Amino acid sequence: MSSDDGIPTADEIVTLDDVEAARERLSEVVHRTPLDRSTTFAETTGAASVGLKLENVQRTGSFKIRGAYNKISRLPAESRERGVVASSAGNHAQGVALAGRLCDVETTVVVPEVTPAAKIDATRGYGAEVVVEGDIYEESYRHALDLADEQGLEFVHPFDDQEIIAGQGTVGLELVEQYPELDTAVVAIGGGGLVSGIATVLKARDSDTRVVGVQPEGAAHAKPSLERGEIHELSGVDTVAEGIADTRLLEKTFAVVRERVDDVVSVSDRETSAAVALLAERAKTVAEAAGAAPLAAVLSGAVDVEDEHVGVVVSGGNVNLTEHAELAQAGLSELGRYVEVRLAVADWPGDLAAVTEVFETHGVEVERLERARRTATDDPNRTPITAAVAGSGPDHLAEVLAALDALDGVAVVDDDLRE
């Protein structure tokens, strides 16, 4: 029965049986993605162990194919003949497109104008018709609903659907089988489909297993919803983690999350960028910001995991190389391992030799060293120089800056290590 406030119960939405049935449908379609145990992250956080569930190496680069295929494969024949429509800024689009191709169903995906060209090309590559409509996702969503009404298409919701949730829950089935000692699972929340599916499995298998959801600070709607006992919608979002930049839960995901998710925490974009960098460096895996957010929550201490066996779901890796490089660089800066410094030198280019010697002596990696554009605040009798260098940590880079400042004719004017 529905709860007193009219919202259905979690069992009315999705059960363990639904997820297990979804796994049967998906058995020949999706990869059983690896669980990579990280000694480094366990030592850093004090956890007994940390297991990374690598959905970034799933088909289409994220978990979304699981729910999309489970939904489309179960449509009645008449709906499959007419085709389906979806709205997405990226991963759901590719999941729907591939699922449609595998099921021989025509798919249309509406994306906002800000969607990267690489994601649009990938979606078309899987066989979907892509319609670019709207400045933001909500406008694309409304346009997709209009197309569904006008053309009689089945709308494939990105998260608020029983079959979608059940499909995403198959990640949880694999997680408990690969990691039987699991104490806590940490999962990103956008609209809540993935965490709802995983929590359904984990709580059915062992009610003591903790499930923690993670959102960006700039899109943190779930915690207020749970605290108020009703869906809280944000007026806007502001985060680098575009894959989980939703403004709200909806009825089905809210019902499941409030019953089966133990806590929701938020992380900053800088903490997320640091997790992107560390996943590349330590785990040798490429993650988009949304996929790295759960690890950011663990590494930042937002989730206390001391002495626990912790499963971190890396939900996606659809990020172009330029964006990944920028995220990683921002992450190294957050970790105190990268600094951009502005110098003022009395002798240009004579003092460059002394500056370069400091870098060589201290063993830093120089990414950039160049004459800078003069600004109104620069000393007119000095030449401005900018340098970008990477080191082993904040103490190392602080030593480098102090050595530069001690040079005759050279002054450190500004650096982002000191912010």
Enumerate the active-site residues. Answer: 64, 315
Cα 214 to chain centroid, rounded: 10
Partner residues linked to 343 by β-bridges: 385, 412
Q: Are 260 and 10 in contact (CB under 8 A)?
A: yes
Query: Positive or negative, the Cα torsion across 376, 379, 383, 389?
Result: negative
DSSP three-state, residue 16: helix
Instruction: For strands 383-390 and 49-54, give the pairing.
Output: unpaired
Query: Positive or negative, the Cα torsion across 49, 53, 57, 61?
Result: negative
Compute the distance between CA of residue 328 and CA of residue 322 in angstroms, rounded to an integer. 10
Name residue, tokens 């759901």: 92
* Token digits of residue 25: 């449908």
- Count of CA atoms in the C-beta half-sphere (13 A) of 6: 3
Q: What's the one-letter identity of residue 203?
A: K
Residue 82 burial by CB count (10 A; 0-12/13-18/19+): exposed, middle or buried? middle
* Token digits of residue 286: 């490429």
Compute the distance between CA of residue 351 and CA of residue 114 in angstroms, rounded to an integer. 45
* Token digits of residue 349: 């280019």
